[in-house]
Amino acid sequence: MMQPDRVADVMGGAAILGSRVLSAKDLEAAVVTGLPRQALRLTLARACSSAPQARTMLYRVVPEATYKRRTRLSAAESERTERLARVIAAAEYVWDNRDDAREWLTRPHPELEGRPPIEAALTELGARRAEEILDRLFYGIPG
C-alpha cells in the first residue's frame, strides 16, 4: 500500500486538505468528509500531460456543472480522487521521477487493453491492475 502522506502530497498536502495526513485513518477522514475540489485539480495536473487532458479527466470524475457549483467533492468523488492520487503516488515512487511517471501514466498500456493507467484508475479494479503493474516493475517481476 502506498504511504498515505505520499497520496496526500499528490492532492496538495496539508495546505489543500486542511491538515496533515500521517496515517490511513487521517486519509480516510479527509475523504469521508469530502475533499476540497482543488485536490482533484492538483491531482490531475500532476499526472496529465496537458491542460485539456486534465480537464477531460476532471469532468469524468465530477460533471462540469457540479464541479463549478461546489467547493467540496462528495464522498464518492473524493474516493475517486484519492484512488487517482494513490496510483500517481505509486508511479512517482516506482519511477522516482515525476516526468517519467507522468509519461507512464498517460501512455496506452498493453496490459490495460491499451488504456493509459491514469484512465484505468478511474475504477477501483483498474487502479488495482495499474498498481499490480507498478509492483511488478518495482520488484522486477516479469508480467
- Helices 98-106 & 37-47, crossing angle to 10 degrees? 90
Cα(96)–Cα(125) distance, rounded to whole angstroms? 24
Cα(75)–Cα(19) distance, rounded to whole angstroms? 18
Query: What are the residues facing 36 on neighbouring strands?
Result: 72
Cα(125)–Cα(135) distance, rounded to whole angstroms? 15
Domain boundaries, the chain: 4-139
pTM of the complete model? 0.96
The string of pLDDT tens digits covering residues 10-52 is: 999 999 999 999 999 999 999 999 999 999 999 999 999 899 9
Q: Is the pLDDT of residue 143 over 80?
A: no
Q: Is the pLDDT of residue 101 over 80?
A: yes
For the residues of 15-31, what is the DSSP string, one character each? HHHSS---SHHHHHHHH
The string of pLDDT tens digits covering residues 49-93 is: 899 999 999 999 999 999 999 999 999 999 999 999 999 999 999
